[in-house]
Amino acid sequence: MTATTQRPAPPRWTGERRGAIGVVLLVAMVWSISGLDVTLDRLLGAPSDAWAILRQMIPPAFARVAARGAVGKVFESVYIAWIGTVIGAVLSLPLAFMAAHNVAPIWIRVPIRQLFNAIRAVPELILAVILIPITGLGPWAGTLAIGIHSIGTLGKWATESIESIDSGPIEAVESTGGRWVSSMRWAVFPQVMSTISSYWLFRFEINVRASAVLGMIGAGGVGSELVSHLVFRDFPAASAVLVLTVGVVLTIDTISASVRRRIITGSVGSDDSSRSSEALADLTGIKHK
Amino acid sequence: MTPTPGQSTRPERPRLRARTVGIAAALMAFSIFAAREVGFDPSTFWEVWSNPLWGKFWPIPWDWVFDSRNVLQPFVETLQIATISTILGCGLALPISFAMSSLTTPNRPTYLVSRAVMNVVRAVPDLFWAKLMVTAIGIGAFAGAWALTIFSLAVMVKLFSETVDGADPGPLEAARAAGGRHAPSLRTGILPTVFPDYVAHALYVFELNVRASVVLGLVGAGGIGRVLEAQRQFFRFDRVLGMLVIIFVVVWVIEQVSVSLRKRLI
Amino acid sequence: MIRLEDVSVTYPGGVEALRGIDLTIDDGEFVVVVGLSGAGKSTLLRVLNGLVPATSGSVVVDGTEVVGASAATLRQVRSRIGMIFQTFNLVNRTSVLNNVLMGRLSVVPAWRSTLGLWPAEDREAAMAALERVGIVDKAYVRASNLSGGQQQRVGIARALAQEPGLMLADEPVAALDPVTSRQVMGDLQKINRELGITTLVNLHFLDLAKEYGRRLIGLRDGKMIFDGDIADVDDDTFRDIYGRSITDEDLLAMGDSPTDGSEGG
């Protein structure tokens, strides 16, 4: 089917648009660099300064750091993250139900959603800064800061989860004459709990990093160790603290990721029937697919 | 033969596995232990409201807040830090994300090395990077920009490599079948498909950077956070609150613009 | 000229896709390959341009050995082989022209194609390819806005833009309706006759194979069961290849094809 057709004129703006975007980016870069008190010798000196420090960081001074109790501090960060996540999870769950449009009426859910947004807008560090004058320095301030901030994020994620469920089971409960609470317990809960609990674990992973950081302003955890070593320019010790922190974070990430995977694919909390059918197959020699 | 009631083998009611109960108990015990360690104190919840310190947050000195030297200029600095970090961090994230995806990686060693390096980079809490930069480079916006660049790189790589992993491999195969080399094949076969997501992610990273640079200032890395920290140390909580209000409004505006731009891209 | 000698392909999972294939194809031939899904048709095509590495044997295309070739040699071989895919493999978000330009990747310097700065002569070649398949008026249209048949024509244009000596079509019409399928097959036939490009087509539908093929190769379980003139093929041969009686599923359009009436099943 080779018909003779006309060659169309090329659209005018493709090449120009790309050029315009490039110019915008260039201007943005120049503008932003101009505000950074960057001078040429600073720019050139930065790599060698960084290299000098890097060299001092190896080997990390694990023994010295452990003697100072850094390991205990790392664990403290984990406890802070854990309790903070628990607080966030427990408080956000009922609120999330009240914020979902397929569950709650508009005059409840709009304020709660705004509450979530407001909380999420305040970083944990700022929260800790506000809380420290009231609770005093120490891990409790960090825990509260993480807990309160987590209410915002976990609440938003949980609400999205609840809103995306299949409405069939809800109708089924209503059709049997069940009340709202029963509907929640039997129709909504089972569908969303696996997703929501995997969000809780994901938030825990993030919170471990956050709690390490909160230590830097005295809200408990390993951050304070890092800061004091850096301030005294004790780089081997600082790198030891870093390696410890990274090690713990990676370990928790890995464990949490595999648990989350198992939760989502449903093998956690499964009943015994699959095991008994395996036993039956072994006994009779019949393999069932 | 249809089974009559009472004659068919009913399955055993599944009992709660011992393992599930054990895990739940262990988690509870751990939580109680951890709560003690952190000094769990429920009384704080209502002490918080009655603390006299709250008085210091009010009234907000608006004339101080709106004086451009105090708040506006540091905020401009914050925006500048966010901009350059986003551009540099997201720019670097493009080739690294391609290296990290089995679909688009040039060879196996690159794949493994890039994944390992990025895992470690992302395991370091963002503000640790900031403090490291400040120590190495000195206080100021320059350090903050470097710290946020690494932060942007980490977030962008996470978001974008997921996009690349999910992209249609068909056009890439076509490019290779036509005899294309690696980079041109990626550029013609994959990039047009993933580019809108890339830009959307970059806008989101910019948003995160504006919020993050507020916090960066607390460790001395420049921007509005530095003013915030200074005022906090002088216990001028009224000014702190005023600044937080302004920050909240600006971040909210940026978020709205970003969301609407991103909607147009996808 | 293409020559395969005792070519076998075993995939990493253990699947033996091709077993001991011996095949010679002369320049300018139009060959149709048929067989069940999983018989090895796709693998056979891909072993020719090295997209799938052969586990053993020798594949020589125009005097160059493909098995074990270096990346640079492979690219060179591929530049002379155009490939058309069942799912078209177009970049949906960009224009038809940009898709066809992908055919010039082996000719244009890497830095130019990476930056998207295609030279004028390559744009000209792409336009000429589009003219040959008759959809040059859609050059600047977004690829996803075209119909299936038009998208496959773009795929053909992309292959033509390479100025290839060999065309490989992997089930090019499987996703198209009967009328469009015949148009595309007609295009392929025309290209083979007018430009003398050796053409290898995988087909699933038997009546289409009979209508458009001259030489037929039948694969079953990775082995070549039949290799000969399409005129020598009868329904018994098809039964050998497919291992069962012909059903209506194997025919593109029921009752339309000029068979001798023995449609079983």
**Which of A1, A8, A18 lies nearest to residue C186, judging by beta carbons?**
A1
CA gap B194, B190 in Å, rounded: 6
Compute the distance between CA of residue C95 and CA of residue C93 in angstroms, rounded to an integer: 7
What pLDDT, on a 0 to 100 scale, did the predictor assign at position B52?
A: 67
Which of chain C's residues have a Cβ under 8 Å away from the Cβ of B185? 105
Is the N-terminal amide bond of A59 cis, ω within 30° of 0? yes
What is the per-residue pLDDT across C121-147, written as a single tens digit (0 to 9) for each? 999 999 999 999 999 999 999 999 999
Residue in chain C nearest A11 by alpha carbon: C140
- How confident is the model over A264-280, as a mean pLDDT? 48
Contact C99, C162 (CB under 8 A): no
Distances (CA, A) of C11 to A279, B108, C8, C52: 34, 19, 10, 9
Write out the residues of chain B at the interface with chain C, using a CB-CB cutoff of 8 A.
168, 170-171, 173-181, 183-185, 187-189, 192-193, 195-196
CA distances (Å), origin A279, targets A273, B5, C162: 10, 27, 61
Q: Please, are residues A219 and A201 in contact by the beta-carbon 8 Å criterion?
A: no
The answer to whether the CB of C76 falls within 8 A of the CB of C63 is: no
Tell whether the model's pLDDT for residue A21 goes beyond 70: yes
SS3 A53: helix
Mean pLDDT for chain A?
81
Enumerate the residues of chain B whose CB falls inside 8 A of the CB of residue C88: 170
Looking at beta carbons, which residues of chain B come within 8 Å of C116? 187
Q: At what angle do helices B191-216 and B141-165 cross, to 10 degrees?
A: 150
| Whether C117 contacts chain A with CB within 8 A | no
DSSP state of A9: P
Q: Point out the residue among C85, C105, C155 whose CB comes nearest to the CB of B180.
A: C105
Q: How many helices (H) and strands (E) does chain A have?
A: 13, 0
ipTM of predicted complex: 0.85
Chain A nearest C-alpha distance from C144 (Å)? 18
How much helix, strand and coil, in percent to the nearest 5, is found in chain B? 75, 0, 25
Q: Which of C98, C100, C124, C140 to mutate to test the interface with A (most CBs of A within 10 A)?
A: C140
**CA–CA dist A121, A97 (Å, integer):** 21
Residue in B17, B214, B228 nearest the CB of A272: B17
Whether the pLDDT of residue C73 is over 90: the answer is yes
Q: Which residues of A touch C183 (CB under 8 A)?
A: 1
Cross-strand pairs, C218 = C34, C226
User: Does C82 reach chain B within 8 Å, measured CB to CB?
Assistant: yes
Torsion, Cα B232 B236 B240 B242, to 10 degrees, reads -170
Q: How far does the CA of residue B191 sit from the closest CA of chain C (Å)?
A: 9
B65 has pLDDT over 90: no
Q: What Rg value do the Cα atoms of chain A yield, rounded?
A: 27
Q: How confident is the model at residue B15 (pLDDT cuts 50, 70, 90)?
A: low
Partner C contacted by A11 (CB < 8 A): yes
DSSP string of chain C, one letter each residue: -EEEEEEEEE-TTS-EEEEEEEEEE-TT-EEEEE--TTSSHHHHHHHHTTSS--SEEEEEETTEE-TT--HHHHHHHHHTEEEE-TT----TTSBHHHHHHGGGTTTS-HHHHHHT---HHHHHHHHHHHHHHT-GGGTTSBGGGS-HHHHHHHHHHHHHHT--SEEEESSTTTTS-HHHHHHHHHHHHHHHHHH--EEEEEES-HHHHHHH-SEEEEEETTEEEEEEEGGG--HHHHHHHHSS---GGGSSSTTTS---S----
Chain C hits for A6, CB-CB cut-off 8 Å, are 136-137
A24–B contact, CB cutoff 8 A: no
Assign B101 to helix, strand or coil.
coil
Kindly determine whether residue C139 and residue A8, on different chains, have CB atoms separated by under 8 Å. yes
d(CA C204, CA C238): 12
Average pLDDT over residues C53-77: 92
Confidence (pLDDT) at A288: 35
Segment A244-271 shows an average pLDDT of 80
Residue-wise pLDDT for A195-238, tens only, equals 888 899 999 999 999 999 999 888 888 998 888 888 888 888 88
The reply to whether C184 touches chain A by the CB within 8 Å rule is no
Does B20 lie at the interface with A, CB-CB under 8 angstroms?
Answer: yes
pLDDT confidence bin for A275, thresholds 50/70/90:
very low
HSE-up of A228 (CA within 13 Å, CB side)? 10
**Contact status of A12 with chain C (Cβ, < 8 Å):** no
Please check whether residue B110 touches A, CB under 8 A: no
Q: How far is C243 from chain B (nearest CA, A)?
A: 31
Nearest to A144 by CA among A75, A201, A80, A96: A80
Of chain C, the end-to-end C-alpha distance in Å amounts to 40
List the structure tokens of C221: 């379980």
Pairing status of strand C16-25 against strand C166-169: unpaired
| Whether the Cβ atoms of residue A65 and residue A191 lie closer than 8 Å to each other | no
Q: Please check the confidence at residue A283 and state whether its pLDDT lies above 50.
A: no
Count of CB atoms situated within 10 Å of the CB of C116? 16
In the numeric block, which tokens belong to residue B199?
């830009």
More reliable by pLDDT, B248 or C105:
C105
Residue range B67-83: mean pLDDT, rounded: 83
A221 in contact with chain B, both atoms CB, cutoff 8 A:
no
Give C-chain residues touching A1 at CB under 8 angstroms: 134, 183, 186-187
Token pair 């830097």 in the structure block, residue: A216
Q: What is the pLDDT of residue C56?
A: 92
**Can you give the pLDDT at residue B38?**
82
Quote the pLDDT of residue B7.
62
Q: What is the pLDDT of residue C198?
A: 94
Flag the least confident range among A279-283, B92-96, C39-43.
Answer: A279-283
| Chain C interface mutation, best of A7, A14, A18, highest count of C Cβ atoms under 10 Å | A7
A16 pLDDT higher than 60? yes
The DSSP symbol for B130 reads H
Q: What is the 3-state secondary structure (H, E, C) of B143-188?
A: HHHHHHHHHHHHHHHHHHHHHHHCCCCHHHHHHHHCCCCHHHHHHH
Report the distance separating Cα C193 and Cα A198, nearest Å. 61
Question: Closest approach of chain A CAs to the CA of B21, in angstroms?
Answer: 10
Confidence (pLDDT) at A271: 41
pLDDT score at A4: 56
Is A5 in contact with C135 (Cβ distance < 8 A)? yes
Stronger pLDDT, A210 or A267, i.e. the higher one: A210
**Confidence label for A269 from pLDDT (cuts 50, 70 and 90):** very low
Q: Which of C26, C32, C44, C25 is nearest to C213 (CA)?
A: C32
The strand order across the sheet containing C166-169 reads C81-84, C166-169, C198-203, C30-34, C215-220, C223-229
pLDDT classification of A40: cutoffs 50, 70, 90: low
* Contact residues on chain C for A21, CB-CB shorter than 8 A: none
Could you check whether the bond before residue B59 is cis, i.e. omega within 30 degrees of 0? yes
The yes-or-no verdict on residue C45 having pLDDT over 80 is yes
* Res A17: pLDDT: 75
* pLDDT exceeds 80 at position A282: no
* CATH top-level class of B62-265: mainly alpha
What confidence score (pLDDT) does residue C263 get? 40
Under 8 Å between Cβ of B121 and B150: yes
How many angstroms separate the CA atoms of B126 and B131, rounded? 9
Q: What is the pLDDT of residues B196-254, one digit of tens each?
A: 899 989 998 998 888 887 778 777 777 788 888 788 778 787 887 888 888 878 888 88
pLDDT tens by residue, A134-163: 788 889 999 999 999 999 999 999 998 888
Residue A50, classified by CB atoms within 10 Å of its CB into exposed (0-12), middle (13-18) or buried (19+), is middle
pLDDT at C250 over 60: yes
List, for residues B100-141, the tens digit of each pLDDT value.
998 899 889 999 999 999 999 988 888 888 888 888 877 777
Shortest alpha-carbon distance between residue A194 and chain C (Å): 33
Per-residue CA distances from B134 to A221, B224, B228, C84, C114 (Å) = 20, 16, 17, 56, 37
User: Which has more pLDDT, C152 or A218?
Assistant: C152
Closest to C68 (Cα-Cα) out of C131, C142, C7, C151: C7
Residues with Cβ within 8 Å of C125's Cβ and at least 6 positions away in sequence, in order, are: C104, C161, C163
CB contact under 8 A, B12 and A272: yes
Confidence of residue C257 (pLDDT cuts 50, 70, 90): very low
pLDDT more than 70, % of chain A:
86
Say which of B15, B128, B145 has its CB closest to residue A242. Answer: B128
Q: Distance (Å) from the C-alpha of residue A174 to the closest C-alpha of chain C?
A: 44
Which residue out of B10, B21, B38 would a mutagenesis test of the A interface target, given it has the greatest number of A Cβ atoms within 10 Å? Answer: B38
**Cβ separation of B170 and C162 shorter than 8 Å?**
no
C56-61 and C30-34 beta bridge pairing: unpaired
Q: Judge: C93–B192 Cβ closer than 8 Å, yes or no.
A: yes
- Give residue B129's pLDDT: 86
- Phi, psi (deg, nearest 5) at residue B2: -75, 130
**By mean pLDDT, which of A2-6, A38-42, A274-278, B204-208 is the weakest?**
A274-278
Which of C131, C152, C176, C187 is most worth mutating to test chain A (most A CB atoms within 10 A of its CB)?
Answer: C131
Please state, for a pLDDT cut of 90, what percent of chain A lies above it. Answer: 23
Mean pLDDT of A15-31: 84
DSSP string, C69-94: --HHHHHHHHHTEEEE-TT----TTS
Q: Which of residues 215-254 of B touch A (CB under 8 A)?
A: 215, 218-219, 222, 228, 232, 237, 240, 244, 248, 251-252
The residues spanned by each domain of chain B are 18-50, 62-265
Structural domains of chain A, with CATH? 62-267 (1.10.3720.10)
CB pairs under 8 A between A and C: 32
Between strands C166-169 and C64-65, the pairing is unpaired
Angle at B232 between CA B231 and CA B235, to 5 degrees: 95
Measured distance CA(C183)–CA(C208) in Å, rounded:
11
Computed over every residue of chain C, the mean pLDDT equals 88
CA C227 – CA C29 distance, rounded (Å)? 13
Amino acid C255 reads G
State the Cα–Cα distance between residues C222 and A10, nearest whole angstrom. Answer: 48
Tokens of C247: 């059903």
Quote the minimal CA–CA distance from A23 to chain C in Å: 16
Say if B139 is an interface residue toward chain A (CB within 8 Å): no
Residue A98: which pLDDT band, with cuts at 50, 70 and 90? Answer: confident
Q: Does C1 touch chain A (CB under 8 A)?
A: no
Q: Widest CA span of chain B, in angstroms?
A: 90
CB-based contact A11 C190, cutoff 8 Å = no
C155 neighbors C103 (Cβ within 8 angstroms)? no
Q: What is the mean pLDDT of residues C107-114?
A: 91
